[in-house]
Structure 1
C-alpha cells in the first residue's frame, strides 16, 4: 500500500487528490500538508508526496524530500528559468515525476500534436488558445507552453524565440515560423486547450477540454503509484510519457 502525502491540502486540487486517494484500494492518505503544519515533521508518514502548489512552496517541499530520499509527484506550473534550474538540481538526490498536466487525455493530445507537427507543421500557421478559471495566476498555462514546446521541438525550433504571446503592437504580416499563444481567463473553466494548424484551404484542430479537476487528480494518483515502483535513480525526472508508456 503506497502512502501518499498531499501538500496544499486545503486547495481545490488538494481536495480533489484527497478524494481520489480515499476512493482507491491501492493507496492510503499518509498526511495532509497545509500552511498550519510542516512536511519535515511527517517524513515517516508517506512514501510519495503529491504537490500542486506554487513554485516557491514546491521547491521547499522538494528540498525536504530530496534530503530525506522521498519521491515526489509535481504538478505545479508557473516556474521561471531560475526555479526550473533549482528543481533540476534538487531532483539529483531523488526521483520525481514532473508534468504541467497529468490528465491522460492531455498527454495523449501531446502525442497527437507531435504527429500533426511532423505531417503539416512546416506548411501551417500554428496557434494555441487556452482558457482557464479566473483564479489561475500563470499565463499562458503550463499545458499550453508544453504543447508549444512539443510542436517546436518536433519542427526543430526554439520556443523561446518563435513564440508570440499576443499581437498588440506587431505591425507586420504573420511570420510563418512563429507559434502564437492566446490566453482567456474567466468563470470556473477547469481547462481548455485548442491547437490549430492553419493551411491553405483547410485547418486541423486538436482540442482537449477538462470538465473536472478529478481528471488531473486521477492522473496524479496514477503517477504516484507508478513512481513508487519505479527505480530510485537519483537525478531522474520522469514525465507522464513514462507513466503512460507513450513513445
Structure 2
C-alpha cells in the first residue's frame, strides 16, 4: 500500500505532495525526492496536513499520537485494532478530523450502504459473509468482512462468516441473504490494490481542512 500511495501521488495532478514516507526499515534516506524515515524516527518527520496509515496495530498508536500532537488529520486503514485502540480513535476525533476504514475502496463504501438496506428490508433472512484474500493476509475474518457484518447488524441481521486464503487474491467479499426458495448476493471483487490507495488519497483530500470528528468514507464520497 505504501508503494502504491507513493506511485499514485507521483502520477497525481491534483496537488498531492508527499512530504515523508515511514516504514519499519528503510533502504535509502531519500527515494525519488521523498525523505524516508524509520518508524522509530516518526516524530522527526516534517510538517504535514494528513497522515495516511496502512501499518500494523503495533505501529498505529504512534501515528495517531503524532497526528494529535500536530493537529493533523488521519486516514487509517490499519486493521486488527484492539478495543482500546478503537476507543483511542473516538477520543482523538474530538481534536482532529479522522477516518478509519477496513477497506478504502469506494465501491465497498457503497456496498456497506446496500448491505444495511438489504438487512433492514429482509428481517429473518439468513446472512452469510464469505471473504477471500491472498495467503499472506494474517487476520480472518477480514476487517472488511467484519465491517460489512456490522452494517448488516444495523439492519437487524445476524451474520455468519467464512474466510478463504488462497493464491494472490486481492480481495473478494460476498454478502448473502437467504430464505426458503430464494437468496440475494451482494458481491465486491478487487482486482488491483491501487483501488485502496486511490480511495485513501480521495479520503485524504476530502478530509483535509475539515472540523474535528470521525468520518466515514461514505461521508467523503
Which of 57, 75, 78 aligns to 1:76? It is 78
**Hey, which bits of structure 1, 4+ residues long, moved more than 4 A?**
none
Distance of 2:106 and 2:95 partners within structure 1: 28
Question: Which residue of 2 is the match for residue 40 of structure 1?
Answer: 43
Distance of 2:90 and 2:59 partners within structure 1: 15
2:169 pairs with 1:189: yes
Q: Does the 8 A contact of 1:113 with 1:206 survive in 2? A: yes
What displacement does 1:74 show?
0.5
What displacement does 1:65 show?
1.2
The 3 A distance-change label for structure 1 pair 56 and 86 is: farther
Distance of 1:229 and 1:63 partners within structure 2: 19
2:214 pairs with 1:212: no
Q: Structure 2: give runs of 5+ residues left out of the alignment.
A: 26-36
Structure 2 residue matching 1:30: 3-state secondary structure:
coil
What does 1:13-92 align with in structure 2 at a 5 Å threshold?
A: 13-26=1-14, 27-36=16-25, 37=37, 38-44=41-47, 46-92=48-94
Question: Which residue of 2 is the match for residue 7 of structure 1?
Answer: none
Q: Structure 1: give runs of 5+ residues left out of the alignment.
A: 1-12, 156-176
Question: Which residue of 2 is the match for residue 118 of structure 1?
Answer: 120
Distance of 1:93 and 1:59 partners within structure 2: 16
Distance of 2:189 and 2:124 partners within structure 1: 26
What displacement does 1:49 show?
0.8
CA RMSD in angstroms comes to 1.4
Structure 2 residue matching 1:182: 3-state secondary structure:
strand
TM-score by length of 1: 0.80
What displacement does 1:131 show?
0.5
What does 1:117-156 align with in structure 2 at a 5 Å threshold?
A: 117-120=119-122, 122-155=123-156
What displacement does 1:59 show?
1.4
How many aligned positions are there?
206
The 3 A distance-change label for structure 1 pair 43 and 93 is: farther
What displacement does 1:151 show?
0.8
TM-score by length of 2: 0.89
